[in-house]
Structure 1
Amino acid sequence: MPSYLVVGAARGIGFEFVNQLSAVPGNQVTGLIRSQATASALNDLAAERSNIHVIEADIFSPDSLREAVAKVEKVSNGALDVLIHNAYSAGTEVMFLSASQFTGKETELHQELTETIKANVIGPMLTINAFLPLIRKGAEKKLIYITTGAADVDMTRVSRLTGQIGYSASKAAGNMVMAKYAGDLAESGIKTLSIAPGWVETPATEGLTQNPEVFEYLVNAFKRIDPNVKGMITAEQSIKAMLEVIDKLDAEGSGAFVSHHGNKKWVD
């Protein structure tokens, strides 16, 4: 009976991971959330499916993580097959400033980088390290980090997307950390993967479609990468594609940074 842990499962991509994984009756799926305040949809789904477990935890607190590990251990029979780390920060209110626009805004720059590195690098490391004992006992032994195509240098260079410096840089750092884990844990049979979901329509991005100017800016940027891009894909499409890539992950591909297509095609 495969067991999955989805970190950051309350909404959007994380919620859809839980939805699709739990649709397979033999899977045991735990959703780790920061707060019950935003988890009503997840709790409703868990009420319908007995193979879903919802656990609240602060991933920056070692004590809270230890408590979460103990709870997950009970519902997953002492082992985890796949950990999917989706919790993240897109940045602060100045996230769309370009590098040069931070001139004279040194405090804001510090906050932008500190916030994103904490959420997108330190948080995942604390969480992975806490749950490693359960992953070591699993059959699949997979650590999955949800990243972004905006962390790819060539994608950024070609698209000329100049904002979200903290998000892009911290996710690039997260990708490197996952590659480090791949080497570190190879002899244990543990495999890692950084995978970007594509340009996905979620509660976090729904405001883009309501702002024609920003939406047009992003579409034009992505068209520099792929002229056929028209807009966002659904979370259902993204997660279905990512699960196929995750399922195929083997030792040879461990530590890689890929898109939901399993390659470097970042947008559809």
Structure 2
Amino acid sequence: MSRNQDVKNFLTQQRARVDPQQHGFSTQNRRVPGLRREEVAQLAAVSVSWYTWLEQGREINISLAAIQRIGKVLQLSHTEQAYLEALIFGNAHSEASRAELSMEVKAMVDALNPHPAFVRRANMDILYWNRAAQSLIVDWAAMPQEDRNSLKLMFVSDDYRQRIHGWEEAARHTLSAFRANYAASNQAQEFEVVVQDLLARSEDFRNMWHVPDVSKMGAGNKTIIDVDGKVNSFTYTSLQVDNAPGIYLIFYLAREG
């Protein structure tokens, strides 16, 4: 999917969420829910033709201020606004995202044992993990290297899917975080390799990929059934590795009860 198509899908979906009555518009005689293009343009103080061209992905001059006004009209969250801006303007990540992990980062991951911890790129490729992650979450070493990716794991591993409590919600959350990372990165090829592989291999991914939800994967909860059938509930935190943009350390902490 091109970024122009992503912009179109995202803006169209967000327009549909907004109640026209909140802005004083009637809801009568509407074929689809939400704001019309001309209403967004009016509220954001841009021309109707300019906003239409923006949704269509045409080549136009775009200012950050105009995009921020549109975001306000569409009631975008901070994450959604950042995603839209990244789609339109891009947001470069350092080449360090492809660099070898330092010994210090690996030592930190190992030291977090017996708590599961691993390191991954923005495109969710797994770079390193400790013994607890291998035994309690997934044995990355047993998988083909090209499948060592958190998003792929969600959609192509039937075994892992059965071990995730609330798989669909977890899969959508992982996918929305991947999408946000994709928009913020200038390393499109790293993400496209993952997307194209999943489009070819997973019907569920094909159905979910075209829903332009975005979120950050900073922290959350996950329940995983381990290889022995024990139910384990965790909170998790994602931390960006200093001096290595696009590389994150993911730490799991067991929840009591």
The interval holding the TM-score normalised by the smaller chain is under 0.3
TM-score w.r.t. the length of structure 2 is 0.27
TM-score between the two structures when normalised by the length of structure 1: 0.26
Which of 1 and 2 has greater Rg? 2
